């Protein structure tokens, strides 16, 4: 598997943030966030086209913690200190600890309506959280 150079992506993040933080662009951002994105996109057209999701997160100032963890992990895979499988397990665990387990704990504590039935989708796979959390679902 081939990965892009993590150092290049880090450098692009720094450069995009530098421009986004300039007073001129902050004025545009305060007036119209979409126009702000377009203005920064004009400066970094190749990166914004190659990585639209990352570009948007950077420009909007969203949390990049896991992006940096992924970039560090790619570097460790490339230098041979970790395998891709080790990295996938570690990042998967970190993401589950941050997002999945708190949601499950909230549901178990009664902070979420587990009987809230999602609308049936055209594929017929929608089911309530109560149905998904039932261990017998694997036997049906």
Global pTM reads 0.66
Q: Is the pLDDT of residue 123 over 50?
A: no
DSSP secondary structure string for all residues of 62-126: ---HHHHHHHHHHHHHHTTSS-HHHHHHHHHHHHIIIIIHHHHHHHHTT-S-TT-PPPPPTTS--
Which tens digit of pLDDT belongs to each residue from 6-28?
999 999 999 999 999 999 999 99
- Going by pLDDT thresholds of 50, 70 and 90, the confidence category of residue 137 is very low
């Amino acid at each position: 598997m081939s990965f892009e150079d993590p150092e290049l992506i880090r450098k692009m993040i720094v450069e995009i943030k530098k421009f986004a933080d300039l007073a001129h662009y902050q004025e545009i951002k305060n007036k119209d966030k979409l126009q702000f994105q377009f203005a920064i996109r004009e400066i970094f057209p190749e990166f914004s086209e190659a990585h639209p999701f990352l570009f948007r997160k950077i420009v909007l100032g969203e949390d990049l913690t896991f992006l940096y963890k992924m970039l560090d992990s790619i570097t460790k895979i490339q230098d041979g200190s970790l395998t891709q499988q080790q990295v996938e397990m570690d990042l998967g665990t970190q993401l589950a600890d941050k997002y999945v387990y708190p949601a499950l704990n909230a549901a178990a504590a009664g902070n979420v309506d587990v009987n809230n039935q999602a609308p049936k989708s055209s594929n017929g796979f929608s089911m309530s959280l109560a149905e998904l959390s039932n261990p017998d679902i694997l036997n049906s």
